[in-house]
Chain A
Amino acid sequence: MWAFLGSDVMFFGAFIATYLVYRGRSLNGPYPSEILNIPVTSVSTFVLLMSSLAMVLGLHYVKEGQKNKGTLWILAVVLLGMVFIGFQMVEFSEFVNEGLTPRTNIFGTTFFILTGIHGAHVTIGVLWMAFLAYGSHKGTLRPDNALDLEIAGLYWHFVDIVWIVIFTVIYLISATDGPPPGAELLHG
């Protein structure tokens, strides 16, 4: 799993590098400063971070053999992950309403592909966790094979950490990005 995560680091790394290289190079709006809603995304970020806490507790109780508590906390991971995806869907549709699509400008291209790929990772994680929650409920996920959950947890924490990086580079660093110098000349 660690080796796979190393592989995934390169995957996200290339997308994040693309975003950073292209940052501030949009030739037309909407620009990040006009469209990013940092307070709302901070809430969804908090939700995702809390899911990692639930993950830790879920693993703890499964290892202890407390089946019901374990199931409950894994379900909490599923729920919080779904809430995060819900936030992302709302955000995407708002952006589209305000005129930002992947085709609008290079910010739209890099923003939607990077966060979309991350969203796909969260979705896979949610399905995986739901599967494990069912197993825990049925009693097939027990202290002796808690490694299954631990490995899924590694993945979950990884996706979470990647989001912290994405939140930093897209939302925090780029929050004030407007048109590049000279862009007004293009549109006369």
Chain B
Amino acid sequence: MTTNSLTFPRFIPRPKSDTGIWSWIGTVDHKRIGTLYGLTAFMWFIVGGIEALMIRVQLAQAESTLIGPETFNQLFTMHGTTMVFLVIMPLSAAFFNWLIPLQIGARDVAFPRLNALSYWVFLAGGLILNFSWITGNAPNGGWFGYAPNSGATFNPGLGMTYWIVGLNILGVASIAAGLNFIVTIINMRAPGMTMFKMPVFTWMTLVTSVLLVLAMPVLAVAGIQLQTDRVYGTHFFNSLGGGDPVMWQHIFWLFGHPEVYILILPAMGIVSEVLPTFARKPLFGYPFVIFAGIVIGFMGWFVWSHHMFTVGLGPAANSAFAISTMLIAVPTGVKIFNWIGTLWGGNLKLNTAMLFSISFIAMFTIGGLSGVMHASPPTDAQQQDTYFIVAHFHYVLVGGALLGIFSGIYFWWPKFTGWFLNEKLGLANWALMMIGFNLQFAPQHWLGLDGMPRRIYTYAENMGWENSNLAASIGGFVLGLGILVFMFNVLYSKMNKKIAPADPWDGRTLEWSTSSPPPPHDFDVIPQVQYRDDFWFKKYPETVAEYYGHGDDHAVPSGAQFDDEPVNAIPTVSGGAEDHGHGDDGHGGGHAIHLPDKSYYPFILGVGISILGIGFLTHFSVFLVGAPFFIWGLLGWSLEPVNDPA
């Protein structure tokens, strides 16, 4: 490439092979990184699920003594932290990685090595967080770690330090991934794909990425402040020194509420892809769905104090946040109406993916409605810290995010692997999950209204809570059985492969135009995009007139005033610094397709970052071990050419 460039000594040769473990450690392919994200997140999902079942076993009977209060605190803290940061977020990241380049007609993300780094750092954060179990000192301050309960005075020991260090490392991974997808979506769309011709999932990924990039640093600040309080004796949350514990709540929830939308928006994107495909209709009111997503992403920043109605911020603050919280239900409701409108009059194909998506709408609506209930401060004062809240957020996170993700798994599995998941087992998977989920969480609504507080490790016999708790525990195990059926389904379908064609569902978006699974370079020829749902209209040109008006190829669907530029006026997009194999190659035909070479440096830098993190947990001398890896990774990375000269 260049005649004189700085070099860095290469202690280990660059990975070249396409198979074996080293090819995975050195991979920069977005599809492989997506697979790694998915597998790792599913592993944590099992861990978090076992924690949940242990909680349910303990609560199945009154005055149970199976699990002591100490362990119980650790269980609910780690269950919440795991499910939020190590399951839902990375499962969404797996879909981002797999789908975004395929949906926008690109050959990889903008920064493939940064993408790899983000995975390794995520893995390190999860391992550090869960390593605390082995030390017997797992975090026990709840997933939102309220100070001063999480401070050194009331919480000595390393548990909450693990939590802080783990989350801050995970934050690095999230910010890196967020940056990557923002740049990818803005810069690397196929020629002709204007913003308002992007698939809805891509749009929701963009909104989620912006939220990630803006919200995670706020969590980092909260973590740093708590850490200095705990370790160096500063006074951020110590009222004796002039600090204020309520500050923690403000900073945490300023991160925490956008985080809620980080969890749900990707699932909304998935559902918005599945429903039109199996209703065989375009998404009803595409611009409304997009704008509702943007509005949710924006307003999500102005509702955080609804987690703090009982703190005593005063009627003015409470009223303002009550109003903003009720308002944010409007764009969410808009989306629900759009999904129902998509189904309306459609030619529905009720397979597993579709069933999960339809269940998403129903369950998410229930969770959304109970959310509007405690948007009212007086109502919330009654429900705060009861099982009603637990029921609410499980209806949006399990009934919403997780069902959406399962819908996406069944929908895109043939694209990812080249074979189908078994539909009969899928039906059993869906049915068991739905029955178990509702049996577990519906009774918690009335348990909460009946006054059962969350986070208690047991309850007295005469409270009248036994039957509902027993039902919830049975439901938990039925839900777990549903997950087992899913795992069995994967194994069964792998052994009895039913090969999937490139376009098994008669899909609408670009990822269905390439083979299943896609080749390493994704597309042989970079597609030229003319319409929203371009692939559909390429397959069925006769339907163009039906949706786009008569005769005029360049006409746009009604309501989309952003699309009225003629296609040939859109410049070919040029990619970022590491974007090779894009642009000219797509049109020229005869050229070889350049992909970035594999690299070990993201892994080495990830190792460095995790050892530095361990230094915060143990002793500063550990920094001396981590620093060489960090510097090696950083310098080697900076001075390594994206492609070695052939």
Contacts and interface: CB of A to CB of B under 8 A. Distances in A.
A18 B235 contact: no
Please tell me the size bucket of the interface on A. 20 to 34
Interface in A74-111: 102-103, 105-110
B214 A109 contact: no
B636 to A, nearest CB: 13
B234 interface: yes
Nearest to B251: A14
Given A14-B254, A140-B5, A113 B234 contact: yes
A135 B213 CA distance: 30
Contact of B234 (A11, A103, A139): A103
Interface of B: 2, 4-6, 175, 178-179, 182-183, 210, 213-218, 220-222, 224-225, 228, 232-236, 241-244, 247, 251, 254, 577, 638
A18 B244 CA distance: 10
A7 B214 contact: yes
A113 B228 contact: yes
A162 to B, nearest CB: 13
Interface core residue of B183, B215, B216, B236 (most chain A CB under 10 Å): B236
A139 B4 contact: yes
A166 to B, nearest CB: 15
Contacts of B210: 3
B225 A11 contact: no
Contacts, number: 94
A62 interface: no
A6 interface: yes
B221 A14 contact: yes
16 contacts: A3-B182, A3-B213, A4-B175, A4-B179, A10-B214, A11-B218, A14-B222, A21-B244, A27-B242, A102-B228, A102-B233, A107-B242, A109-B243, A110-B236, A113-B225, A135-B6
Contact of A10 (B215, B224, B233): B215
Contact of A18 (B178, B179, B215, B236): B236
Nearest to B240: A27
Contact of A106 (B2, B235, B638): B235
Given A7-B213, A140-B4, A140-B5, A15 B221 contact: yes
A18 B6 contact: no
Interface of A: 3-4, 6-8, 10-11, 14-15, 18, 21-22, 25-27, 102-103, 105-110, 112-113, 117, 131, 134-135, 138-140, 147
Contacts of B243: 22, 106, 109
A117 B178 CA distance: 23
Contacts of B228: 102, 109, 113
Contact of B217 (A8, A105, A112): A8
A26 B217 contact: no
Interface core residue of A7, A140, A147 (most chain B CB under 10 Å): A7
B89 to A, nearest CB: 16
A134 B232 CA distance: 37
A25 B251 CA distance: 18
Contacts of A113: 224-225, 228, 234, 236
Given A7-B217, A22-B243, A27-B241, A102 B179 contact: no
B153 to A, nearest CB: 14
A140 B247 contact: no
Interface core residue of A14, A22, A106, A147 (most chain B CB under 10 Å): A14
A89 B178 CA distance: 35
B183 A102 contact: no
A105 B242 CA distance: 7
Contact of B236 (A3, A8, A109): A109
The secondary-structure label for the interface of chain B is helix
A26 B235 CA distance: 10
Q: Which 4 pairs show the lowest CB-CB distances between chains A and B?
A: A106-B242, A11-B217, A14-B221, A109-B234
Given A7-B178, A103-B234, A140-B5, 4 more contacts: A3-B182, A7-B213, A10-B215, A18-B247
Nearest to B183: A3
A108 B234 CA distance: 8
Contacts of B183: 3
Contacts of B2: 140
Contact of A109 (B182, B213, B215, B235): B235
Contacts of A27: 241-242
A153 to B, nearest CB: 16
A152 to B, nearest CB: 11
A26 B236 CA distance: 11
A106 to B, nearest CB: 3
Given A15-B221, A140-B2, A103 B216 contact: no
Interface core residue of B6, B183, B214, B221 (most chain A CB under 10 Å): B221
Contacts of A131: 638
Given A22-B242, A109-B241, A6 B4 contact: no
Contacts of B232: 102-103
Contacts of B254: 14
A23 to B, nearest CB: 10
Contacts of A108: 234-235
A26 B243 CA distance: 8
Contacts of A11: 217-218, 220-221
Contacts of A3: 178-179, 182-183, 210, 213
A136 to B, nearest CB: 11
Nearest to A21: B247
A105 B239 CA distance: 10
A103 B241 CA distance: 8
B111 to A, nearest CB: 11
A117 B225 CA distance: 11
